[in-house]
Every structure is written in C-alpha cells, then in structure tokens.
Amino acid sequence: MEQYLKKISPSTQKLIVDHLNETVLPHMIINPRGSAKGRRQIWIETATPIQPSAKFHVGFQDDRLFNYIKKLAPEGFTPETILVTKGGVIRRHRDASTLSWKGMSINLGSVTWYYERNYPNYFWSPVDHETIPPGRWDLTGGEVFMFNTKNAHWVENAHPERWGINVWMISDNARSKYEEFLSQRIAGTLSEEQLNFKNAGY
C-alpha cells in the first residue's frame, strides 16, 4: 500500500454492494486460469488483455459504478480499466505489463492484503535483493488506496461476500493499441468478438 485515500462509510458501502449484487453479479464469470483461478470477476468499461499481443474488448457497461470510481480517483489518475471481483483469493503476483505502475483498490469486505514494497516509487528502479518482508493489512471494508502494481501482492482470507474493485490506467507499452481500440469503438468498427466482454482473455 503506497497511499491511503479514504474510508467509505458503511451506508455508502451498502449502496455499492447492493448495486453490485443486483447489476453486476449476474454477468460475472469464474476465472478459468492464472493466479486467481476460480475467482468470480468481471471487467468494467474496458476488458484489458493480460498478454500484450491480445486484443482489448469492450467491458461490461455500468455508468453508475464507473462515474463513482472516477470521483474516488486522486488527481492525475484517470480510471481506464476496472476489474471487479467477488470472494476468492489471488496468489502472489505482479500485474500485467498492459497495466500501468499505479493502481487503485477499493475494498468492500473482510480480507487480508499482502504487499512487497520492492519498488518504492511508481517506476522501475534498482532493487535491493535483500529479502523485504511483505506488509500485511487486515482490511474490514471501505478502504480505498493506491499501490504499485509491479510490486508483488496477494490476498488471503477473503470473505465469500467480499467485493474488490481494482482500477488501472493503461501502460505506455499498450497505449497505442488501447487508443486504436478506442478509435474503433467510436467508429463502430470493432469485431463482434471484441464487443463481448466474456471473450476477454482472463
């Protein structure tokens, strides 16, 4: 955790969770592979490929949720792709190269969050190869914070009803493909495959 932003009130948390259960949950998939295999999740707004060679897809559209997330984001951080999860854990990992160094996380429920702070800033720097013990946070719900997505992180002890909302900008090395995707989306020239978020490569 690099920067703690705020704590969402219990009443607002309930409004968000009720909305997620009613509007988002019916469309979620079970992750079939990777460090979060078996977790229920869905991309919002834009489904971002894990592999740089893969295609962007249109994510599930939820303007109410997307606009709220934009209001939470700090200055200089523009939400471009969002992964919403429910329950489940994720093993130790670093986020894909298609995602920028800076990420925002919104926690809605009980979970233990681990984070190895090898890179102290939001860019590459020489790493001291001495073992750095991971930080541990026992979160209860409502926490909004920023983290370096290239530092290893993972979660354990996630309550089955815990929701996580992870927010990124697109990385520089995927920026041109993302902007091409946006242009095609505006022009209405995306393929049928790219218009279905359930085709995205999780």
Written in H, E and C, the secondary structure of the chain is CCEEEEECCHHHHHHHHHHHHHHHHHHCEECCCHHHCCCEEEEECEECCCCCCCCCEECECCHHHHHHHHHHCCCCCCCCEEEEEECCCEEEECCCCCEEEEEEEEEECCEEEEECCCCCCCCCCCCCCCCCCCEEEEECCCEEEEEECCCCEEEECCCCCCEEEEEEEECHHHHHHHHHHHHHHHHCCCCCCCCCHHHCCC
Q: Among 8, 3, 11, 1, which residue's Cα sits nearest to residue 142?
A: 8
pLDDT in tens, 50-90: 777 778 888 899 999 999 999 999 999 999 999 999 988 88
Q: What is the pLDDT of residues 89-143, one digit of tens each?
A: 888 888 888 899 899 999 999 999 998 887 777 666 666 656 677 889 999 999 9
* Side-chain-facing half-sphere of 37: CA atoms under 13 Å: 4
Q: Give me the mean pLDDT over the 39-45 stretch.
A: 89
Tens-digit pLDDT profile for residues 1-23: 667 789 999 999 999 999 999 99
pLDDT of residue 53: 73
Q: Which residue has the tokens 């869905």?
A: 42
What does the pLDDT read at residue 90?
A: 81
Q: What is the pLDDT of residue 72?
A: 93
Mean predicted confidence (pLDDT) in 159-178: 92
The size of the chain, in residues, is: 202
Mean pLDDT value across residues 15-44: 87
Q: Is the pLDDT of residue 159 over 80?
A: yes
Query: What's the CATH superfamily of 3-118+133-187?
Result: Alpha-ketoglutarate-dependent dioxygenase AlkB-like (2.60.120.590)
pLDDT at 182 over 80: yes
Going from N- to C-terminal start, the domains of the chain cover: 3-118+133-187
Residue 40's pLDDT band (cuts 50, 70, 90)? confident
Give pLDDT, residue 139: 94
- Which pLDDT band, with edges at 50, 70 and 90, does 167 fall under? very high
